[in-house]
Structure formats: C-alpha cells, structure tokens
Amino acid sequence: MNQPPIEPAVDEPIPEPEIQRAKRFSIVWLIPLLAVLIGGWLAVKAIRETGPTITIVFKSAEGLVPGKTEIKYKDVTVGKVQRIQLSEDLAQVLVTAAMSREVAVHLTQDTLFWIVRARVAVGEVSGISTLLSGAYIGMMPGRSGKVLHRFEGNEKPPAIFRDTPGQQFNLRAEQLGSLDIGSPVYYRQVKVGRVTNADMAEDGTGVLLEIFVEAPYHHQVKQSSRFYNASGLDMKIGTDGVRIDTPSLASLLVGGISFFTAGDIKTSSPPAANQIFTLYDNRDAANAATFSYREYYLLYFEETVRGLAAGAPVDFYGIKIGEVVSIRLLFDQDTLTFRIPVLIAIEPDRIELAGELAIPEYQVMEKLVGKGLRAQQRTGNLLTGQSYVSMRIQPEAEPQVIRTDDVYPVLPTIPNTVEEITATVKRLLDRFNNLPMEETLADIREAARQVKDMTGSKTLKSAIDNIDQSFAEFRKVTSDLNGGTLPKINGMLDQARESLARGEEALATANTVLGEGAPIAYNLNRMLLELQDAARAVEALADYLERHPDAIVFGKGNQE
C-alpha cells in the first residue's frame, strides 16, 4: 500500500544565494588576442613578401592555369599566375601575375618572360619536366632601367642567358637565308655559339644579326675574321669539279654560320667594340674578300661566251688570280654591231713578287702583255660546259699593247682551242671548195677516152713487139753465157745492153701512150723491173769472170 509523500514544513526558511564578483582579467581572453596577433603578423608578412602585380602579354595561353602556373628563375619560384584574360581586341592574352618582393627591383625594361614547354629542336631538347608538372613561365631578370609592370612575353626562350661567359658580335648580310635565332655558330667545325637576334636594317638594304660566341672561343674572333653562311648543303659544280661543303647535320637542317681568321691569327688584333662584320654567302666569297685590292680589265672575245658567267675564275697557269665580274651585251647604233665586254678583276695580292728589279705596279701588266700575255676562254667542265678565263704567255703571239680608250683597260685575247680547230677546218674546206673539180673531172674523162682509143693503136702494138724481141734476145744471151766461152762474154754484154736499151725505149713508148696508171702500163713496168734484175745479174757475172777468168774452164768452185 502506497504511502503519500511527505511535504516539507512550510515554516523552514529558503537559503539566500551567495554572489561573488569575478576578477578583472581572465586567461580566456588570451586566445582571441593571440589570434589577432598571429593574423596581424601574417598580414604584415604577406604584405612584406608580396611583390608587385604585373601583366605579361602573350600570343597564346596554352598550358597556363590561373592560381597554379608559376613563374620561375633558375628553377626557383618567384611568382604565380593569378588571372588570365583576353585583350580588348581579342588578339592577345593578358596574364596577371603576383611577383615576389625579392625580384621587384629587377622588373625593368630588359626583363624577359617566356613560356616553358616541352620543346624538341635540332641538337636541343628542353622542358621535358613540363610533360608531368605542366608549363610554367620562365624569367630572366633585368639589370638596369626603370621598373615596369607590363611586359611583352616571348614564345621561345632566349638563345643565350645573360650570365653566360662570352662576347656578342654584330654581322650584316644581304639576306637572311635559312638562318634564325638559335642557329649555331661554328669555328673549325666546332660549335662555339649561336645567333641571338636577327632584324632588318633601318635602310632596308640588308639584314643585321647578333651572334654570341661563348668563352673561351670568343678570343678567336679578330679584326681580320671572315664570317660566311654555312647553311644547308653547299654543293657547287664549277670548272674545278663538284664540291660539297657543310659543317654539320644541324647546319644542314636549321642553318649556321662559320668563321675563320685570315692571315696570322697570333698577330691579328681583337675587333673594335662597334665593329660590324660582313656575312658572306659562302666560304669562297669570304676567301676572296681577303684580297681587297683589285684591278679591273675588259676582254673582248671573238667567239661565243656561252658557259662563261660572273664568278668564273681567272687563272694564270692553273692558279686563280681573279674572277669574272660581269658579262654584258652592247649594241653600237652607228655601226649596227654587237660587242660583248667581259669585265674581270685581277687581285695582285695573290702574286708574290721576287727579284731585285722594282717595276711600278702600273707597268707590270703592260710589260707582261708586251711579252705575250693573252687572255683565252677555255672550257673548265665538259659535263656542265662552264668556262673560265685563262691567262698565258704566248711567245708566238703578234705584238699588242693594252688599249686605254675604253672604260677600263682592254687586254688582248686569243681564240680558244676549239675555235682554232674550227677555223683550220674551215680554211681547208674553203681550199677544197676552190679546187677546179669540174675541170679535173673533164681531164680524167678525156684521158680515159684516149686510153680506150689507143688500146687498138699500132703504136701500142709496136711497143709490145719490141718488148717481146728484147726478152728473146736476153734469153739468147743467157744461153750463150751458159755455153761458157770467154771471147763471147764481151759480145754477150753488148747484146744485153742493147736489149736493155730497146726494152727501155719500148716501155717509154708504152708509158707515153698509156700513162702511169693504166693496167697495161703496170704490166710493162713489172716486165721492166724483171729485165733490170736480169741485167744486174749479168753485170755481176761479167765482173766475176773479169776477176776469175779460169772459172770458164774450171767452174766457179770455192774461190778464196
């Protein structure tokens, strides 16, 4: 059974609350205070570490990401891209980046920015790490100038960094060719630098290039150095054959520049600070520039000048002493004739002087021409037909002098070998054409008719009878000789001489009638020769019997 709850007494007093006052400062307030201090310190630090905000203008923002892409110098992060937007004309990309404070003073007008991507070029592979981490913006701090906040970015990295030891040189060329920024520079086929800049000259007459030669090779560049374009494959088919020249595979594909020093490299002085070198088209042109002094002469050839062109060599006994400068065609309106002046340049520095007799320079060529110096056009390459000018001393040449009535002195020339042969053949043909062929043929026909008429004449028959009689008498003489009596020898000799005389008379008659070329005359000549042999045998026998008369009785035997 449940009992009812006991209620408290009504008259018990309620306890009074005890009120205590808190202390003025509590440790709890340290937490927000500490947070404020830390926040302020972070803000001050951020302000101190945060550099200026700059804008970089690029043609494309490929690979760039806001808030992620970094700006690096020597692989150290010096900034970060905050925003990327297009320009008002939509032609460019504006990249806003926050830079660190330590590079703020280096953001000058010569500061460079470029996008680093994976790049494969001839002889160079760079930016491979960006395949995983993504592209970033490379930076080259400026050295001096006013601090800027807007920059023009480059699509490619600079060819040479500013801290690379070496020296920069300036070149001037007529045209750029296959050269470009980054093209290699060679010395003795060793890569020693590269092209750093290429631009048109202010007057538009050429191209200005800047090259950088790394240390220690920059000391090889002297005032007498010659630079030439070694781009591509230099293949030349000339009078001296086929020649192929290229420094390397890289220059074959992307172009290149080579240089050498003319003269003694040890005594050559270094180049001046503002010296501009000429970039020649090839090595031959650079070599030719070594001989700066030239003497110009005109040549007039009577034959065709096919195969002769500007740049063809002028040699003296196989040694090059100059080149052909130009070939023109002149028309004389007064005489209605054409002339082809060939202008050549002779470089006297190629010829070393010897001897004690000092001849003035202006008299050397004059004396050589007086001695027989002549210019001749010759074929140097049968495959291509290219010609050159040959200078030779011709002692048999007719005396001539240098003509001075033209724009340049005129040297005497002689025809080439082919022209001389052609002229000789022409003269022979002219002689043959001038022969009286018709009259000669008429005489031959008349002689043939006379031979035909005389084959049945009595004169010819009489001559043949005389020959037969002579042979009969000769046989009789030989028969008597074999009989062997000494008193008959003298008569025998007289008869033989008589027979010979009659035979010669008969043959002479036959020759008169027939002529030397007739068949009958040929047979008669043979008979006469046999008769003469027989007569010589008879004379030898008579001479023997005169020296050995007893041979008639005892025979020839073995005479000592």
What is the domain extent for residue 308?
295-352+360-425
Higher pLDDT, 197 or 508: 197
Residue 169, pLDDT score: 94
Residue 284, pLDDT score: 77
Residue 237, pLDDT score: 59
pLDDT tens digits, 95-113: 999 998 888 888 998 899 9
CB 220 within 8 A of CB 249: no
Output the six-digit token pair for 58.
């690029």
Alpha helices in 157-272 (DSSP H): 249-254
Domain boundary, last residue among 129, 152, 175: 152
Lowest mean pLDDT of 8-12, 319-323, 484-488, name the range: 484-488
* 230 residue type, one letter: A
Residue 299, pLDDT score: 93
Residues 560, 552: Cα–Cα separation, whole Å = 16
Same structural domain, 408 and 465: no
Same structural domain, 131 and 173: no
Domain presence at residue 438: no
Task: Tell me the pLDDT of the chain averaged across its residues.
Answer: 76
Highest mean pLDDT among 85-89, 121-125, 242-246: 85-89
CB 142 within 8 A of CB 174: no
pLDDT tens digits, 368-377: 888 889 998 8
Residue 355, pLDDT score: 73
For residue 224, what pLDDT band results from cuts at 50, 70 and 90? Answer: confident
Closest to 408 (Cα-Cα) out of 352, 333, 364, 346: 346
Per-residue burial over 13-25, b = 16 or more CB atoms within 10 Å of its CB, e = otherwise: eeeeeeeeeeeee
CB 323 within 8 A of CB 314: yes
For residue 43, what pLDDT band results from cuts at 50, 70 and 90? Answer: confident
Same structural domain, 382 and 415: yes
**Domains of the chain: total:** 4
- Residues 241-253, mean pLDDT to the nearest whole number: 57
Residue 271, pLDDT score: 87
Same structural domain, 90 and 123: yes
Domain presence at residue 414: yes
Residue 240, pLDDT score: 57
pLDDT at 560 over 50: no
Q: Please report where in the chains the tokens 């050559």 appear, as a residue.
A: 268
Residue 366, pLDDT score: 85
Residue 485, pLDDT score: 46
Three-state secondary structure call for residue 352? coil
Domain boundary, last residue among 109, 127, 152: 152
Same structural domain, 57 and 125: yes
Closest to 410 (Cα-Cα) out of 301, 519, 533, 287: 301
Domain presence at residue 526: yes
* 506 residue type, one letter: A
Domain presence at residue 183: yes
Higher pLDDT, 19 or 222: 222
Same structural domain, 301 and 397: yes
Residue 15, pLDDT score: 72
Higher pLDDT, 555 or 352: 352
Higher pLDDT, 269 or 23: 269
Same structural domain, 102 and 190: no
Domain presence at residue 549: yes
Q: Kindly report the CATH number assigned to the domain that includes residue 473.
A: 1.20.58
Report yes or no on whether pTM surpasses 0.95.
no
Same structural domain, 308 and 397: yes
Same structural domain, 312 and 408: yes
pLDDT at 294 over 70: yes
Q: 436 CB contacts (<8 Å, ≥6 apart)? A: none
Domain presence at residue 159: no
CB 107 within 8 A of CB 150: no
Output the six-digit token pair for 328.
């023109």
Q: 444 CB contacts (<8 Å, ≥6 apart)? A: none
Residue 262, pLDDT score: 77
- Residues 486-492, mean pLDDT to the nearest whole number: 52
CB 276 within 8 A of CB 171: yes
Q: 466 CB contacts (<8 Å, ≥6 apart)? A: 502, 503, 505, 506, 509
Lowest mean pLDDT of 45-59, 343-357, 481-495, name the range: 481-495
Domain presence at residue 320: yes
Instruction: Please return the burial class of 432, using the count of CB atoms within 10 Å of its CB with bins 0-12, 13-18 and 19+.
Output: exposed
Task: State residue 455 phi and psi, 5-degree precision.
Answer: -65, -25
Same structural domain, 337 and 281: no
Domain presence at residue 379: yes
Domain boundary, last residue among 425, 455, 475: 425
pLDDT tens digits, 58-71: 998 888 999 999 99
Same structural domain, 115 and 177: no
CB 481 within 8 A of CB 544: no
Residue 9, pLDDT score: 53
pLDDT tens digits, 386-437: 889 999 898 888 888 898 888 889 999 988 766 556 666 666 666 666 766 6
Return the number of other C-beta atoms located less than 10 Å from residue 202's C-beta: 8
pLDDT at 305 over 80: yes
